Amino acid sequence: MSESNLAKILDKIIVIDVECTCWEGAPPAGEESEIIEIGICALDVATGQRIERESILVKPERSRLSEFCTQLTTLTQEQVDRGIPFARACSILTQQYLSKERVWASYGDYDRRQFERQCQSRNVSYPFGPTHINVKNLFAITHALPHEAGMAEALELLNLPLEGTHHRGGDDAWNIAGILSQVLLAARVNIAQ
């Protein structure tokens, strides 16, 4: 189905945050950074309410978790080894969240690029449609910041708490959706004035 034929469902924005295998330096020989967790938070467009929150653990195929990665994310090798294949995780996004038909968002472009790379290298269908919101960039522009702010800094500027564990996909997606909600609601107030 071409982009022009693809109907957009504008009831929810699917906010995504991924955690990937990582190292303090370069990856070990033969390993590559890959998604180990997909955090999902559905944001209701009409109300600005965060309505769904999920974390999908993905079993890595081409890398192992480093001690650095475990310290950063709190995820262990044993946990991600019980995860599902990447292709199945993408299927959940398209079937359960209708991610190809809905607008999706992430904090920065890292998550989008990681999905593009990993889908291409695994020959897995890209689970999203063409409409992506870069919340990091949008937040900086709407707040006239001289630079893009990290997620924790953006929450602080909005006087919102950082809920859950930073660098866990489900918690970060929830917090990013909170930032996006504030941006959307503030835009509506400005339009109404």
In the chain, domain spans? 3-192
- pLDDT attached to residue 1: 42
What confidence tens digit (pLDDT) does each residue in 26-38 have? 999 999 999 999 9
Give dist(CA 132, CA 26) in Å, integer.
29
pTM for this entry: 0.94
**Does domain 3-192 sit in CATH 3.30.420.10?**
yes
pLDDT band at residue 189, thresholds of 50, 70 and 90? confident
Tokens matching residue 39 = 């955090």
3 state SS of 9: strand
- pLDDT attached to residue 99: 97
3 state SS of 153: helix
What confidence tens digit (pLDDT) does each residue in 59-82 have? 999 999 999 999 999 999 999 999
Give the mean model confidence (pLDDT) for residues 174-192. Answer: 90
